[in-house]
Structure 1
Amino acid sequence: MTLWIIFPISISLVSFVGTWTVYALAVSSNHVCSLSDWSSSNHCTGNQSTGCCFAPTISSSGTNAPENSLFTATINAGSFLFLLFCIFHHAHIMERHACHSMMSKCALAFGVVAAVGAFSAGNCNPSNVSLFHYLGAAVSFLCICFYTVLLTALTGKYVLTGYEKVLYPLRITSTVVQIIATICYTILFVQGKYFYLHLSAIFEWSLSVNLQLFELSYAVEFYFFSSFMLSNLLGRREEEKPLIIQMS
């Protein structure tokens, strides 16, 4: 059903529009510095937190009011849609290529943990509950790397659409960019100087946009998706009961 292609498109739009709107509000309120401003003259330090701006990371953009509520709503919506995306994609694999069920289940597990980590990061304000926020963000970024690797590997193994010869190299490129950007962001984020913090923010926004493009590429797969695949997945789970129950 062509209606299902709206789903990956909606995930990308919600994440893209929501996060960049939060960033725009934060910049206009002087809560974070602009991504184009590399000077550290107005950067907040340990002894100064008012009348200055923080490095423009995604988390910093959603720390203060009024944009923090929109940030939480965006992350919650994005996490929920991403969770559904993981389940729907797994249902597609189980219906069309059940021989790759183990790899698909591993990808599903990483996707679920990534969604939970993002939900934790979005609902724990870094200024109040920094431990759970950064822990959730770290878990989410790490699991998303494994998730993209597994989904890209699956693209090279199955034929769902007939366009895999085009999608496979694109997803390999996107996966490599995701991993490199995540590693660079992690290394630079722990540095103390503002230049490195600002550079880490660039990498964080880059990996966010790259993930949205990666998800958007699955509009091709979802064109061939149907609700029957979900009901079939639930039916298979119902059939997979222990033999001892059937014998009783």
Structure 2
Amino acid sequence: MTAWIVLPVSLAAFSITGIWIVYAMAVMNHHVCPVENWTYNVTCTEETARRGFPKTCCTLQDIPLISKCGVYPPESCLFSLIGNVGAFMVVMVCMLRYAQVIEHSHHCWTNTSALVSGCVNALGLVMVGNFQVDHAKSLHYVGAGVAFPAGLLFVCLQCVLTYRIAETTLDYWMAHVRVVLSAGALVSLVLSGVFFIHESFVLQHAAAICEWVFTVIILVYYGTFTYEFGTVTTDTMMAVLAQRSSLHLHHHHQPTGVIMGGMGSMGGMGKSAAMGCGPHGLKSPGGGSTSAHLTCNPESTAML
């Protein structure tokens, strides 16, 4: 058990709690309407604001989208803080997960794609948090358009990786849970996008609810990495460095004769490595160590 288990839990707890606090502040400051209010008007007459109470007359501008909740101060300050800190923690989680999968001898395009999508998700979160929708609409929508699909892609790829390195029954159960969370995130994101493009008050409000559901599901998904991060050690990051170093040395120092002589035997191996995961001489999930080194045959070298 390592201290890294705190990271995914902290990301989920900090972000979920933070965005709900932002929502509560926005409601009490009359910046958005409560999520339970489905009654909207084209125009609202001037109402007497009651401090600490939500609005009673709501227009399309008062729909409680997550971005709308973080437009005006003081809640906008907390919203930006959550976006920046959350993005940093997302990058940390993605890097540790990437290293952990490599440590289990599974270096593949799926793992690399998951790392890239996670970092893109973090970049989008920074843009969403720092460019409020009412003040920098274009940049905010670019950030949201990047963050949401990238986050969905990340969780889907992690489902594949979870099944690929699973060994115990509990590992497979965790993979099943993540598939359910990913399916819920996909449905809520699609519905949010479909509802958002309509001007109906009801559909716009439904889009806001779906957006909240999607965000919470993704954050809960990040929290599930606590299950694997209990085994993260200093060797986890060293596995990535060792793997990179071995590839670098193998590329620059392998004799030409060996490369030419081994082209035929490496043909099948190269295809499988390009399509999926392959062993790289790193620690396996079972605790042993494997090696997959190319040997230099003196006889074949002499013949060349």
Same fold, TM-score > 0.5, yes or no: yes
Match of residue 13 from structure 1: 13
Cα distance in 2 between the residues matched to 1:103 and 1:144: 15
Moved more, 222-231 or 23-32: 222-231
Match of residue 140 from structure 1: 147
Correspondence for 2:116 among 109, 115, 135: 109
Match of residue 128 from structure 2: 121
Report the identity percentage. Answer: 27
Query: Is 1:91–2:99 an aligned residue pair?
Result: yes
Correspondence for 2:71 among 43, 47, 63: 63
Structure 2 counterpart of 1:181, one-letter code: S
Q: How well do the aligned residues superpose, as a CA RMSD in angstroms? A: 2.2
Equivalent residue pairs, number:
241
Cα 1:220/1:243, change in 2 over 3 Å: closer
Question: Could you report, residue by residue, the CA deviation over 1:207-234 in whole angstroms, capped at 9, with x for unpaired residues?
Answer: 1111121111111101111122113313
Cα 1:106/1:244, change in 2 over 3 Å: closer
Detail structure 1 runs of 4+ shifted over 2 Å in the superposition: 41-44, 159-162, 234-247
Cα distance in 1 between the residues matched to 2:251 and 2:244: 16
For normalisation by structure 1, the TM-score amounts to 0.90
Which has the larger helix fraction? Answer: 1
Cα distance in 1 between the residues matched to 2:169 and 2:231: 11
Correspondence for 1:202 among 198, 206, 209: 209
Q: CA deviation at 1:244?
A: 7.1
SS of residue in 2 equivalent to 1:240: helix
Cα distance in 2 between the residues matched to 1:138 and 1:43: 30
The higher-RCO structure (CA 8 Å, 6+ apart) is 1
Query: Is 1:172–2:179 an aligned residue pair?
Result: yes
Cα distance in 1 between the residues matched to 2:249 and 2:198: 53
Cα 1:238/1:42, change in 2 over 3 Å: farther
Structure 2 counterpart of 1:22, one-letter code: V
Q: Structure 1: which 5+ residue stretches go unaligned? A: 45-50
For normalisation by structure 2, the TM-score amounts to 0.74
Q: CA deviation at 1:164?
A: 1.6
